[in-house]
Structure 1
Amino acid sequence: MRCFVGVPVTGPLARECKELALGLPRATPRPNLHMTLAFLGQCTPAGVGRLSAELRSLADRFAAFDLTFDRCEPFPAEQGPFLALTATCSEALSALHEGLWECLGRQGIDREQRAFRPHITLAKPGLALATQTGAWQLTVDQLCLYQSELIQGEVPTYRPLSQHPLAG
């Protein structure tokens, strides 16, 4: 199964995300809204169990924190193909991200080569859109191990396999 680790987007921010994507083609369904921390690729059921234990241990070491997304823009470059909220990586998020990759490394998962750019994908509109500025707040209060289910011609579904509240 294809898996990734992320932070779910809920509450007021989820509503704001849906408003920003209103009327756009291929808007991200509300249950799928998240900020990806690490894409893992294919995982076995046994691997998921080990990863969940690592994530539980990691979550116990970190306190919840807020992250401000200050731009709604084409992502990953000016031409898209996505529309996303983007943020500068805060010190707290950077520490959590580094801790996550230490845990993943212990499980034999190689670190992604691309630079980490905090974002929440709002839509895959296939057209150029203007950048907006603002202050959208995400409370980073849990880690979630997701399964990504891809069905040909349909929107992917992201199913939580395990959730770990930040408790530090």
Structure 2
Amino acid sequence: MEITGVEARERGVRRLFLAIPLSKGLREELALFLQRFRPRFETATGGGGGISWVPLQNLHLTIKFFGDVGLSGERRIVEAVERYVRDVTPFALDLHGVGTFPGASRSPRVVWFGCRGQVEEVTTAVEGLEYVLERIGWAREKRGFKPHLTIARIRRPIPASATLTSLLDDFRDERFGTWPVDEWTLFRSELLATGAVYHAVHRFPLAR
């Protein structure tokens, strides 16, 4: 169970994750797309109940989720990432296509935007960072890094249907634009009654 912002402050910890935020222009492009996609998806899955859509301002590409971290742990993270990104060159991703985890035939739980472009470069950079963070006490992710943006989480079972499969096929090759990445950001997540709010606490410019 996630702790609230008040509880986190009382414990002297902050819920942290490292991510790549979206540009304003791309966020606006996705807002227009979701106006078309969301009602069709909710219809194809039998209604909007049990589907939690990620607010546009919270959309990001997660690099590493740390969880609840004390001040000394946060300092170690910042120092390690600062050193590491000095050798990470800027890259560009293309937001491309919509899909689900698992696939539409297996009761999906997550809806995502896909990434293309310099995927190999960002994957290599993230995997290298995992080794760096492991040396200061953070376990490496067991699952391989697959860059994507989560746009919705599904809290109820959704039976397979030809309608849902057809809908996802319609948007599988949708293109949303190029996403230049020249910095990573450490975010603090604060859980409020209205939902999670993300605050940027440190920015890490990539190599110039």
Q: TM-score range by the shorter chain?
A: 0.7 to 0.9
Query: Tell me, what secondary structure is at the counterpart of 1:156?
Result: strand
Is 1:30 aligned to 2:56, yes or no? yes
> Partners in 2 of 1:94 and 1:74 — Cα distance?
20
Partner of 2:4: none
Q: Which has the larger radius of gyration?
A: 2
The counterpart of 1:75, out of the listed 75, 80, 101, is 101
For 1:119, the equivalent position in structure 2 comes to 148
User: Could you state the TM-score of these two structures normalised by the residue count of structure 2?
Assistant: 0.70
Q: CA RMSD in A?
A: 2.4
**Kindly, what percent of the aligned residue pairs are identical?**
26
Moved over 4 A (4+): 125-129
Equivalences, count: 167
- Distance (Å, rounded) in 2 between the aligned partners of 1:5 and 1:22: 28
CA 1:19 to 1:27, structure 2 compared with 1: closer, same or farther past 3 Å?
farther
Return closer, same or farther for 1:80/1:19 CA change in 2, 3 Å cut-off. Answer: farther
- Do structure 1's residue 63 and structure 2's residue 89 form an aligned pair? yes
Task: Could you tell me which runs of 5 or more consecutive residues in structure 2 were left unpaired when the two chains were aligned.
Answer: 1-13, 39-47, 159-163
Q: Does the 8 Å CA contact 1:68/1:138 hold for their aligned counterparts? A: yes
1:121-136 alignment runs, 5 A limit: 121-124=150-153, 130-131=167-168, 132=171, 133-136=173-176
Deviations 1:49-73 (A, max 9, x none): 2211111112211111111232112
Residue of structure 1 equivalent to 2:76? 50
Query: Which one has the bigger helix percentage?
Result: 2
Q: Is the 8 A contact 2:123 2:147 kept in 1?
A: no
- Find the counterpart in structure 2 of residue 139 from structure 1: 180
Alignment partner of 2:190 out of 126, 145, 149:
149
- CA distance 1:156–1:76, shift in 2 (3 Å): farther
Once residues 125 and 83 of structure 1 are traced to their aligned partners in structure 2, the CA distance between those partners, rounded to angstroms, is 8
- Opposite residue 146 of structure 2, the aligned amino acid is R
